[in-house]
Structure 1
Amino acid sequence: MRTSTSLLSSATALALLAPMSVARPAHSHQFISAGAYAAHPAEDDEPGTRYWIRPDDLPAPVNDGDPEDPDFMNSPTLVDPPRGMKPKVPDGFAVRVVARGLNQPRVMRTAPNGDVFVAESGSGRVLVLAAKSLRHPPATPVVFTEGLDRPFGIAFYPPDKPRYVYVAAADQVVRFPYRAGDRTARGPAEVIIADIPTERHWTRDLAVAPDGRHLFVSIGSASNVAGAMPEKTPAEIRAWEATHGRGAAWAEEENRAVVRVFEPEGRNVRNYATGLRNCSGMTVQPRTGSLWCTGNERDHLGADLVPDFLTRIRDGGFYGWPWYYTGGNEDPAHAGERPDLQDEVIVPDVLIQAHSSTMQMVFYDENAFPGRYHGDAFATLRGSWNRENRTGYKVVRAIMVNGRPTGVYEDFMTGFVLDEERVWGRPTGIVVTHDGALLVSDDANGTIFRVAPEPSKHDGKAQGRR
């Protein structure tokens, strides 16, 4: 199988799994998982737990993709936050609520002037939280625009001195004229990419390429594993891939399960990477300029398959869906159909416990957090709905060394799962503010949290790296 060429050594990753020196609350326990699936109840998740899931750890599929698999349906009972309860974060950090009562807040992006834009997917609106109000909550949102079909991705273009705010709705990408400090759109929406199909996965994220001349949009699949594609001959497949990309699916999956790249005016749209069932979050790594995706993988192959992931995205890269997963592991629903692809599947950089529902990610490049966090990635896991033992419902930290992924990730913000049935929060959006705090949106209860070091325990200066 084709693997990521710059993964760090096993020795380096194992060293990172060693117990941390950070002080823990008295009730905390140290749970270190070098194997993939040493399970424990999600309500017992604690900041500091580390995981390293490797391709060799994966179990065999438990069935052939049958949606009646008994581990399939287990949606949580969503409840109001218990009085006085806040998420758990590492010792030395504090959590504050900066906004409440929002309707499915999802993607958040920080404008160059420090304001934070929020995609309120449930209402069809994009909101703005003023930078000052984030430091002195509660923040009162202002409606930037409304009337969109499930807005999600947000991007400022050009990134440093933007003239436009791009918004990816479920059915199209639009942009609005913008000047620094605008909190309401100064003009109507201009359609950049129209007629995006909306079946199944509708979360469309946006990112601006480091060259400043292109943007990316992620478009998830129309099905779990593409069961309705008619057969093509080898010649027909070659012709199809010449225009759609290696491993690209067809029929209702045309230009689905992909990341697409386009020019700012909407011209020259093409598939940048294929085989990504649902890249629900994108970001560009500041240190390297690499595009990253969060990946929601397929269902019905068992409680521990298929791992979700965080990964770098390569131009022309093929990530397996629907024929393969996590490298050259063949999906039983497509057995024997595409042996030519088996050695070309890129293994994701950071494998996340299956069904965690990875959503958004961001790299931390400010100095407010201790230096050991600098350059690492934070990602939201909205949580499982189809796994007997719940997983996800937290924010994790993917550990990098010199800008390169180790494959190790660590629980950072937990505590949303009360017991086997009840959940009071589903982390979805995440962004770094200009003062170095993390904002996390919970789309279950419509809350935005601010996570920052406690002033009495950290002086705001960067510490030494690991």
Structure 2
Amino acid sequence: MIRFAGLAAAALLLATTASAQQAGEPVLTGKKAFGDWKADRPGVRRLIRPDDLQKPYVSRSASNGAGLADRPEGARPLVPSGFSIELVASGIDNPRVVRAAPNGDLFVADSKASQIRVYRLAEGSARPAQEAIFATGLTRPYGIAFYPPGDKPQWVYVANSNSVVRFAYRDGDLKAEGKPETIVPDIPANHHWTRDIAFSPDGKTLYLSVGSGSNVAEDMGAEPEGGLEQWATSAPLGATWGPEEGRADVLAFDPDGNNRRSFATGLRNCSGMTVQPQTGALWCVVNERDELGDNVPFEYATTVRQGGFYGWPWYYIGDNEDPRHAGARPDLSGKVTVPDVLLQAHSAPLNIAFYEGGSFPADYRGDAFVALHGSWNRGVRTGYKVVRLKFKDGKPTGEYEDFATGFVISDDDVWGRPVGVTVAKDGALILTEDGNGTIWRVTYGDGRS
């Protein structure tokens, strides 16, 4: 990990001073919504629409990866007025997805260390009463799911970069007692490797996201074997071929790994999945393609419709054709599903969780939180925060609001890169970031249930 020392006092102040949410703050729309990290603070709201999309190459494609700095002493993310945030753990190699077991234990995928960690917090506290290594010897684990859904799961499923495995589980287990059982083997693991998993509410379907093997299918080839017309009539709508076959997809299986089928296509990299409690709909947060400019195309969060095609690699955000595949698939025009919530380009959304807890203010219930890891392909960086997606009667309004910010120190350096987000059993929000390897607990009021 690259780190930078000698941070200026002003940068430290920026990273540690709380900023209260402004009442009645207007929603930023159009070009005003395309701000950078300096404008981020809890309460800032944005609404991006498909018509706000710029033409490709309006701005030069930038290579602007963040330098990772040590977390300044005492620094913590900024959250809205009335909320508190406390450190759960630090010094973890690579904390990524975090999921709460029905009993309240926090399962964390430590991807680079190839292990799953467990934290059992003291009641009403961010302090771990117990922590353990649940399983080791995995392969870049990421997604975690408990099966069957409900209060008494019997299995913990883990999505490796190249497979899905499961461990026998009894309520309260801190360590896996047996060896993993492989459920889905031979998942292609190059390029985008973050595999997330989720179960349908009835427990009959296992969903698996498999990101693309490239930025924009550069090596896929002009036509599949047998010709494009034959492929289009036999394969799922918008399915890719060659080295990209079965990628940029959400796949579905029976819980035992059998009966593989395509659920949705054209999702370049669905790094985070969850099921919306209110509706039972599957949701994805998606990293879109690079090298078309600072604000092209938008990232997004969306319901995933069975049989839906979301554009990659030929189109994006509806019928906007990627110039690198101009004229290649006119048959797909008009068949691209437009995502539900558009996020600023190159924010790199990695995980999503719906808030159904009872400890936050009532208007948070039914909204969703998304962790934005931050991306390299923008002249002035954006992302590096957790945002709140607004919903009304179970449907997204399209607005999103900064919730946890303060991870960026300067134009060059960041100390935190949010990855995982989940709701704890007591209604607290749990965040992970893999810049400095920390886990945080966000509460409202005094933080006690």
TM-score w.r.t. length of structure 2: 0.92
Correspondence for 2:20 among 3, 25, 50: 25
Local SS of the residue matching 1:252: helix
- Is the contact made by 1:133 and 1:140 (CA closer than 8 Å) also made in structure 2? no
Which residue of the partner structure matches residue 59 of structure 1? 54
User: Is 1:177 aligned to 2:172, yes or no?
Assistant: no
Task: Please state how far the C-alpha of 1:24 moved relative to its aligned partner.
Answer: 6.2
User: Is 1:102 aligned to 2:92, yes or no?
Assistant: yes
Counterparts of 2:196 and 2:123 in 1: how far apart (Å)?
A: 26
Which residue of the partner structure matches residue 274 of structure 2? 283
Local SS of the residue matching 2:350: strand
Counterparts of 1:126 and 1:237 in 2: how far apart (Å)?
A: 43
Which residue of the partner structure matches residue 201 of structure 1? 192
- Is the contact made by 2:353 and 2:369 (CA closer than 8 Å) also made in structure 1? yes
Local SS of the residue matching 1:141: strand
Correspondence for 1:92 among 82, 99, 105: 82
Residues 176 and 255 from structure 1, CA distance in 2 versus in 1: closer, same or farther, beyond 3 angstroms?
same
Counterparts of 1:438 and 1:449 in 2: how far apart (Å)?
A: 8
Counterparts of 1:73 and 1:167 in 2: how far apart (Å)?
A: 33
Correspondence for 1:125 among 106, 115, 121: 115
Which residue of the partner structure matches residue 77 of structure 1? 67
- Is the contact made by 2:60 and 2:293 (CA closer than 8 Å) also made in structure 1? no
Counterparts of 1:385 and 1:249 in 2: how far apart (Å)?
A: 26
Local SS of the residue matching 2:390: strand
- Is the contact made by 1:28 and 1:46 (CA closer than 8 Å) also made in structure 2? no
Residues 322 and 37 from structure 1, CA distance in 2 versus in 1: closer, same or farther, beyond 3 angstroms?
farther
Task: Please state how far the C-alpha of 1:233 moved relative to its aligned partner.
Answer: 7.4
Which residue of the partner structure matches residue 443 of structure 1? 434
User: Is 1:320 aligned to 2:311, yes or no?
Assistant: yes
Which residue of the partner structure matches residue 46 of structure 1? 41
Residues 249 and 26 from structure 1, CA distance in 2 versus in 1: closer, same or farther, beyond 3 angstroms?
closer
Counterparts of 1:412 and 1:367 in 2: how far apart (Å)?
A: 18
Residues 297 and 108 from structure 1, CA distance in 2 versus in 1: closer, same or farther, beyond 3 angstroms?
same
Identity value in percent: 51
Local SS of the residue matching 1:135: coil
Residues 234 and 121 from structure 1, CA distance in 2 versus in 1: closer, same or farther, beyond 3 angstroms?
closer
User: Is 1:212 aligned to 2:207, yes or no?
Assistant: no
Deviations 1:239-292 (A, max 9, x none): 435554110111000100000000111101111000000000000000000000
Counterparts of 2:98 and 2:306 in 1: how far apart (Å)?
A: 26
- Is the contact made by 1:244 and 1:271 (CA closer than 8 Å) also made in structure 2? no
User: Is 1:270 aligned to 2:288, yes or no?
Assistant: no
Task: Please state how far the C-alpha of 1:72 moved relative to its aligned partner.
Answer: 2.2
Task: Please state how far the C-alpha of 1:44 moved relative to its aligned partner.
Answer: 3.3
Task: Please state how far the C-alpha of 1:141 moved relative to its aligned partner.
Answer: 2.8
User: Is 1:388 aligned to 2:379, yes or no?
Assistant: yes
Task: Please state how far the C-alpha of 1:197 moved relative to its aligned partner.
Answer: 1.0
Deviations 1:307-357 (A, max 9, x none): 100000011000000000000000001100111111010011000000000
Which residue of the partner structure matches residue 286 of structure 2? 295
2:145 maps to amino acid:
A
RMSD of the TM alignment (CA)?
2.1
2:71 maps to amino acid:
P
Q: Greater CA deviation, 75-84 or 257-266?
A: 75-84
2:388 maps to amino acid:
R
Counterparts of 1:36 and 1:168 in 2: how far apart (Å)?
A: 38
Q: Which runs of 5+ in 1 are unaligned?
A: 1-22, 64-68, 461-466
Q: Greater CA deviation, 172-181 or 41-50?
A: 41-50
Which residue of the partner structure matches residue 101 of structure 2? 111
Which residue of the partner structure matches residue 4 of structure 1? none
2:50 maps to amino acid:
P
Which residue of the partner structure matches residue 14 of structure 1? none
TM-score w.r.t. length of structure 1: 0.88
Local SS of the residue matching 2:331: helix
Counterparts of 1:419 and 1:144 in 2: how far apart (Å)?
A: 37
List, as ranges, runs of 4+ consecutive aligned residues in structure 1 with deviation greater than 6 Å.
Answer: 26-29
Counterparts of 1:195 and 1:234 in 2: how far apart (Å)?
A: 22
Q: May I ask how many residue pairs the two structures share in their alignment? A: 431
Which residue of the partner structure matches residue 6 of structure 2? none
